[in-house]
Amino acid sequence: MEALREREQLGSELLLRLRSVETALEPVCDLLELRPRPQNPNHPAGNLHKLPAPLRVIFSKFDTLATFGTQGGVSVKIDTAVAEPPEKRQRLEGGVSPGPLDVLVTINCPAASSDGAKAVHLRFTHPSLSVVAVACEGATDASVLDALWPDDDGHGPLAASLPSATVGRPYGWAQILAGLRDEAVVVLPSLSSAPAVTATDVVLRVRAKVA
């Protein structure tokens, strides 16, 4: 019994240290996601250079998952921000400026019933310099994002600092996914000990909620 207790303690300590290493490597991994990509206007990442850094990180992570991951049924594109109608954008010679851009992720979720698969559309926006927000679009119940991570409802100090017209909520997990942990932890100290968040984590949790 004593030997088992020692092994259990060693295992717990190892897990804590591995989580610390994972958190410490987050900035490095996010910088790798921001590496330049070929400028191909026909590729979904053709406008990647026009996105703010946090949204570029999110796009790159889901693009990598969609291209190389084993999950399947995931796609991502750069989309015109829904909060900026064309008539309100700055008019330029020869037309209207394209306005801000969002990242739109589509996750196909196999249904357990005979209703068939459902598609969940997540729109990632950048309403503030150091905050990203997420909204669930389409016919899918918006509650899919409620408590996707425990005790993370997207309300609180971060939400209070954003404009009232913000699309989506500033969930804590989204800040970590976008490489904004260090900025958000000033307002949400609990994020300092939160585990890393990957695109795969988001897909698996969304599918579990929809199933």
Q: What is the number of residues in the chain?
A: 211
Chain segment 150-201, per-residue pLDDT in tens: 999 999 899 988 988 899 999 999 999 999 999 999 999 999 989 899 999 9
Q: Which distant-in-sequence residues (6+ apart) come within 8 Å of 69 by Cβ?
A: 199, 200
Token pair 């796009």: residue: 59
Tokens of 120: 């969940």
- Residue 106 pairs in a beta bridge with 75, 121
Token pair 């068939």: residue: 116
Tokens of 125: 């926006």
pLDDT of residue 19: 66
Supply the pTM of this predicted model: 0.73
Q: Which distant-in-sequence residues (6+ apart) come within 8 Å of 70 by Cβ?
A: none
